[in-house]
Amino acid sequence: MNISVLGCGRWGSFHAWYADHIGHAVTLWGRKGSRHLAALVEQRKNEYLTLPDSVQLTDDLAGAVASADILVISISSQQLRSFCRDLVALGIDLSGKRFVLCMKGLEIGTGKRLTTVFYEELGSSMRVAVWVGPGHVQDFVRGIPNCMVIAAREMKLTRELVDAFSSPLIRFYYGEDLLGTEIGAASKNVIGLAAGMLDGFGYSSLKGALMARGTHELSRLIEAMGGDRMTVYGLSHLGDYEATLFSPHSNNRRFGEDLITGKPFAKLAEGVYTVEALMDLSREFHVELPICATVYAIIHDHKDPKEQLMQLFMRATKSE
């Protein structure tokens, strides 16, 4: 099967490596002038992995799109809308192609899920799924397996993509609640920021409480939005906590820790943007999100981190 991966950062390069690893014909696309693409072209590797020669590298978006049966999109979530417009501008018939969104986030300013953004720009008849769940590139390329989830509006597409991407390295589950899967996957990065802040203060023992209350507050939001509140306890959210709240590889956890300890952190931490969208959803659906509100107050309102975290965990007594 011909698979094109659009986006050549950490996860994009992994998705290209993985699709090649399980026997597909793979093209990896990066923007013209991309330093990530330039490094891969020159050395066939980045700080995470080495790409085999069988993976084709290109900055020709039209060529990468036209040749693919499946298109994996792995870019910053906040760039998705403009990128979809770039796809439309190509003038290529996309109706027969299957798309997989391999990023986690919500659109700032609208709070919209990524599939909603995709449908708005490319049309509601397009076939698109999300691929989320636990795991780190560094572990996968060492042969350490994990479980992930693919979810789509139609189960037929979900099954097709699970069949295309399953292997002994990644066991996929069928996601039956697209809304809950997307909200859960996006919001776990915000809980990861809070976990890193606790690590920065040496309060790591509080992460158990953070996990319990974090899943609870997001389950109420998912239910209010019309999804299944139990989805948050699956692979897209709670199942990803180890990789996001505890792992040294987690960008969101590391961002939170470095914020407290005063170290600079230059890599992408999607939770910084996602928390803005979650606060919009909190107001729209009248659901209190105390952990998300605390993270927002610290990062965006520049409130005192220690004071805010202590207020969060010392809130008035109530039933669990």
11 is in an annotated binding site: yes
29 is in an annotated binding site: no
32 is in an annotated binding site: yes
Q: How far is CA 227 from CA 23, 154, 159, 278, in A?
A: 35, 15, 20, 15
156 is in an annotated binding site: no
7 is in an annotated binding site: yes
Look at the chain and count its residues. Answer: 320
135 is in an annotated binding site: no
63 is in an annotated binding site: no
CA distance 25 to 285: 44
207 is in an annotated binding site: no
292 is in an annotated binding site: no
CA distance 103 to 280: 20
270 is in an annotated binding site: yes
96 is in an annotated binding site: no
Q: Among all residues, which ones are annotated catalytic? A: 188
Contact 67, 92 (CB under 8 A): no
120 is in an annotated binding site: no
Tell me the binding residues for sn-glycerol 3-phosphate: 104, 133, 188, 240, 250, 252
- Residues annotated within a binding site: 7-12, 31-32, 48, 104, 133, 188, 240, 250, 252, 267, 270
Binding residues for NAD(+): 7-12, 267
